[in-house]
Amino acid sequence: MNLRNVFVFDHPVIQTKLTELRDVACDHRKFRTLLDEIAGLMVYEVTRDWPTKEQPVDTPLERTTGIVLARQVTLVPILRAGLGMADGVLKLLPDARLGHLGVRRDETTLEPVSYYQKLPPDIASTEVLLIDPMLATGGSGAASIAYLKKAGVTSMKFVCLVAAPEGITALHRQHPEVPIYCAAVDRQLNEKGYILPGLGDAGDRIFGT
């Protein structure tokens, strides 16, 4: 498959946490903690190429020139499961604003159904991280990206935990310029659109539903 514009985190600490999280015996408390930690670890690489600007700063000894992010940041979790990654990212980017996109998969057609949208008014001028642990058929991610583009967003990245090859292909067919960051590219989808080996239903595992 074509992995152009796909970045897979092969870091041993992330992989160890992902393995623990896949385990069916991992309860919702541990699952939330691990997802939070992995999301935080991903931020470092995901933000590496963001533009910066110089900013004067007074140290206790003298004035110097420091470096800060050039643009504001907006984090957009896809509800529900994306919320499980939000706090981990916010720990590293505490000034980020949050937008929310409510999208659920229709269980029969697997098509995305949008039910809620709330974005910061100036999102178009910010760096956007769209977050959702699962990229399965790619429907939810592609619909969310299309919504963000309509809102004027020009710089965004899709950050997930586990991606299916089918989802990567589908998402990049519609939005090839949006980079996908993930901790694993799994084997395939099953007949119900679940990722194999995957980790099951991320929302249910995060929220204990």
Residues that bind ligand PRP (CB under 6 A): 78-81, 103-105, 110, 112, 132-141, 167, 193, 201-203
Which of 75, 90, 103, 134 touches ligand URA by CB under 6 A? 134
Q: Which stretch binds ligand URA (CB under 6 A): 15-23, 27-35, 70-78, 197-205?
A: 197-205
Does the protein bind ligand URA through residue 163 (CB under 6 A)?
no
Name which of 181, 94, 100 is nearest 135 in CA terms.
Answer: 181
198 binds, options ligand PRP, ligand URA, none, Cβ within 5 to 8 A by partner type: ligand URA
CB 43 within 8 A of CB 89: yes
Which of 87, 195, 197, 206 touches ligand URA by CB under 6 A? 195
Binding mask 88-127 for ligand URA (x = CB under 6 A): ----------------------------------------
Out of 19, 109, 154, 169, pick the active-site residue.
109
Binding residues for ligand URA, total number by CB under 6 A: 10
Which of 93, 136, 159, 168 touches ligand URA by CB under 6 A? 136
Instruction: Classify burial at 13, counting beta carbons within 10 Å of its beta carbon; exposed 0-12, middle 13-18, buried 19 or more.
Output: exposed
Does the protein bind ligand URA through residue 139 (CB under 6 A)?
no
Q: Is 105 a catalytic residue?
A: yes
Least distance in angstroms from the C-beta of 25 to ligand URA: 18
Does the protein bind ligand URA through residue 198 (CB under 6 A)?
yes
**CA-based Rg of the chain, rounded to a whole angstrom?**
17
Q: Is 204 a catalytic residue?
A: yes
Query: Active-site positions?
Result: 105, 109, 201, 204
Q: Which residues bind ligand URA (CB under 6 A)?
A: 81, 134, 136, 193-195, 198, 201-203
